[in-house]
């Protein structure tokens, strides 16, 4: 049988295929790339705009309590709610197809494969930068305000979400900075406890592979349990004190993060949610076609005091 290649697929049709079939798969590949990303995305926090991403913060109780018959009730106003404000952050990744490769892949199927491959590289690039931003310390203004910025206390003297941790103790996280600390189950339990109040408690633990391996070594075989939900999603995880411990290569070195995801949101602008700019030919480089993918949003924690971390672990296995 003789195979006859079509002349070539038009670029406007390639743009349509990219938007309808390829882009949604790329977005899934980005946000399902690690367990923490997936858990945050599954919460589905989309925003429709605004000058800032604003999170209401409850930091004081109102009037109330027991009372006797005929007693005048307290109706004084109490400043209970403030707002943490986070700037929008903007990310992009580009893909390039040069004329030589286009000619080598002139047939319809070949050209679609070529474009799809370039877009996968673009998604990998965006996944890397967003994954790094997820754990950033907030010192690079244009980057995502990451978990290292949220999990801080007055020692760090930071302003997080526009609120000072020095003058507002209720805005501090629980940070154990003991140098070269050798973890034990008791220390893990205690650090979880300082970030727990009634039903508010860290829901997931996160660290690099060496942290995972060390904690795995702390428990006897009969104490090691995989987290079914994470396993079903394709992620390796260990059940620690009833919570999944997941591996994230972008987590800070020697850290173990203890996160209450009820109060952490990865906000995405609904109009810049992996938006694709179609393939175009730059006027100054007619031998190329380029496409871009864009994302806008930020990470925001509305209650740091229910977050906790060890920041200087010794994970050497003996």
pLDDT single digits (tens) 183-235: 999 999 999 999 999 989 999 999 999 999 999 999 876 566 666 666 666 67
Residue keyed to tokens 């004329």: 99
User: Residue 211 is encoded by which pair of tokens?
Assistant: 């942290």
**How many domains would you assign to the chain?**
1
| Cα–Cα distance, 54 to 302 (Å, whole number) | 9
- Tokens at residue 71, please? 């007693």
Q: Please tell me the distance from the alpha carbon of residue 152 to that of residue 82, in angstroms, as a whole number.
A: 19
User: Does 26 fall in a domain?
Assistant: yes
3-state secondary structure of 261: helix
Please list, in sequence order, all residues whose beta carbon lies within 8 angstroms of the beta carbon of residue 301, skipping any fewer than 6 positions away.
Answer: 84, 147, 150, 160, 161, 263, 264, 307
| Alpha-helical runs (H) found in the chain | 11-17, 23-31, 35-42, 99-104, 108-134, 147-150, 185-193, 209-218, 228-232
- Tell me the angle at which helices 108-134 and 23-31 cross, rounded to the nearest 10 degrees: 30
pLDDT by residue for the chain (318 residues), tens digit each? 343 444 567 777 777 777 777 777 777 677 666 778 888 877 767 777 788 898 877 655 556 567 677 777 655 554 545 789 999 999 999 988 877 766 666 667 777 777 888 888 888 888 889 999 999 999 999 999 999 999 999 998 789 999 999 999 989 999 999 999 999 999 999 999 999 999 899 999 999 999 999 999 998 765 666 666 666 666 767 888 889 999 999 999 999 999 999 999 999 999 998 888 888 888 888 778 888 999 999 999 999 999 999 999 999 997
Q: Is 3 part of any domain? A: no
Judge whether 179 lies within some domain.
yes
This prediction has a pTM of 0.82
Q: Is residue 199 part of a domain?
A: yes
Examine residue 63 and state whether it is found in any structural domain, yes or no: no
Structural domain for 159, as ranges: 11-52+83-310
**Does residue 76 fall inside a structural domain?**
no
Task: Give 18-58 pLDDT, tens digit per residue.
Answer: 777 777 777 767 766 677 888 887 776 777 778 889 887 76
In this structure, the number of other CB atoms found within 10 A of the CB of residue 110 comes to 16
């Amino acid at each position: 049988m003789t195979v006859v290649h079509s002349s070539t697929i038009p670029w406007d049709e390639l743009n349509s295929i990219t938007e309808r079939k390829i882009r949604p798969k790329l977005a899934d590949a980005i946000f399902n790339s690690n367990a923490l990303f997936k858990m945050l995305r599954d919460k589905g926090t989309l925003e429709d705009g605004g000058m800032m991403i604003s999170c209401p913060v409850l930091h004081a109780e109102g009037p109330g309590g027991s009372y006797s018959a005929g007693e005048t009730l307290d109706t004084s106003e109490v400043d209970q709610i403030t707002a943490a404000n986070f700037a929008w952050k903007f990310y992009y990744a580009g893909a390039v197809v040069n004329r030589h490769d286009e000619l080598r892949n002139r047939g319809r199927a070949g050209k679609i494969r070529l474009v799809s491959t370039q877009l996968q590289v673009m998604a990998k690039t965006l996944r890397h930068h967003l994954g790094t931003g997820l754990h950033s310390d907030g010192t690079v203004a244009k980057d995502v305000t990451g978990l290292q910025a949220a999990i801080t206390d007055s020692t760090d003297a930071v302003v997080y979400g526009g609120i000072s941790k020095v003058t507002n103790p209720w805005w501090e996280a629980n940070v154990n900075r003991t140098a070269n600390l050798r973890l034990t189950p008791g220390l893990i339990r205690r650090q979880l406890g300082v970030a727990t109040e009634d039903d508010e408690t860290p829901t997931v633990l996160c660290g690099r592979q060496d942290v995972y391996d060390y904690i795995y070594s702390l428990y006897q075989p009969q104490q090691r349990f995989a987290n079914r939900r994470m396993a079903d999603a394709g992620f390796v995880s260990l059940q620690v004190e009833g919570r999944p411990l997941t591996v994230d290569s972008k987590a800070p070195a020697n850290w173990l993060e203890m996160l209450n995801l009820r109060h952490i949101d990865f906000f995405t602008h609904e109009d810049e949610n992996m938006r694709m700019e179609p393939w175009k030919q730059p006027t100054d480089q007619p031998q190329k076609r380029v496409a871009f993918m864009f994302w806008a949003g930020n990470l925001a924690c509305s209650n740091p005091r229910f977050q906790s971390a060890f920041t200087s672990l010794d994970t050497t296995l003996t």
